[in-house]
Chains A and B, each alone.
Chain A
Amino acid sequence: MALCFLARTVYSDIRHNFLPHYLLAAAIVVITPLFFSVSELDSRQAAQPLEMIISLTGTVLLTPVFMPEQNESIRDLIRSKKAPYLLTCMIRLLIGLLLLAVLTGISVLYMKKCHSQVTFRHFTGTAASAMALGSIGFFTAGVSNNVIIGYMASLLCYILNFIARDKLGIFCIFSMMNGSYDEKKWIFVLSFALILSVFMYFKLIRKY
């Protein structure tokens, strides 16, 4: 029964709401090697396309989790259903995270195949950066109930890193490009805290 619900939710969400986002995330991964070299790069050089481009999949996959219910009619309809709303959101989030991991994995493996010096750290580091961008979007979209604000916050964070990454300390999402990995555990913890706080907010304040 639970599996049936899960399958129905996944199918319905993909079909009606999230297919464009999944395709866009896949497109980011596919077009990256067309514009940027991914062959024969050393560890730092390999981090550039991974952190600067592949991490954007986080914004695309995690920010729109609450998007379908921005329409009040749909929100009321969803809340009237037997299945808990937050569970539906959690499933969407998990699918987003899974896809994020798969797409990052594909990128890293492809670079490995192209003789770039990538390791498991590149995979986890890129996934952490993508998760950070995505969770900022997820958090702001959830709290403001406006997915545009989610994209805005996520991309502003990206722009800030783009312009002033040296000044961001432990919140730098492009740290591997500077040869440092220590920031990744902090941004991973921050991402997890942001995701958790959205669910707490929905549960305790909005009483979903």
Chain B
Amino acid sequence: MTASIAIDRTPRQQYLLRLSDTCLILGQRLGEWCGHAPILEEDIALANMALDLIGQARALLTHAGAEQGLDEDQLAFLRDERDYLNPTIVELPRGDFAFTVLRNAMVSTWLRLVWERLRESSDAELAAIAGKAVKEARYHQQHAADWAVRLGDGTDESRRRCEAALETLWRYTPELFDDDAVDAHAASTGLGPAASTLREPWLAEMAEILGEATLATPADSAFRSTGKRGLHTEHMGHLLSEMQSLQRAFPGGAW
């Protein structure tokens, strides 16, 4: 087994890792659909999106890692669980297709808003990554939103599954918009938007998607997930053990 690496926990690094890990972990979850999606065409679509997300994660990890002498593979595969800073919503098990569709709608809407703002980042490389990623996120959002409408406004069963998924997922969304010192740093240096500034536009877009899907926006709850501070659910360890096993067993292994 290869030992874990230690990471810098500067606000800048944390800001970059929160974003990279959102892409990385959601990409890993979407990849679990490969060979299991309801239809062949959708199987390919989900795998495409997983690869888009992993591509975004690679660019961000390469950029973040360069500042601390680490490469993308080390950052992706050799960190301990608590050094992954993705919001909890992306690590939840893939669930049924309704769960995946609604999570994709929520996260891709959020990512699209983030990437749009990051195009004006004071970090030129981050701005360049955002310029490419925003196109991908736009498609992911449209794809998920279309499915949300089909399933939400579909059969009794698809609607029931959507409502259940929405109920579960909604509790994890406030974490996306809670500010802390990392956000204060990003906002003050022009690195990127503070999390809270995306809340209103996100809610407006979600209300539009859910409205068209004839699904009611769930009520807010006081529950706060803590993934972006490194405190994860019990699902994260299982995900990482699978994701990391190859690189831990064959250090530096590459295609």
A and B together in one complex: no
Interface residues in chain A, defined as those with a beta carbon under 8 Å from any beta carbon in chain B: none
Interface residues in chain B, defined as those with a beta carbon under 8 Å from any beta carbon in chain A: none
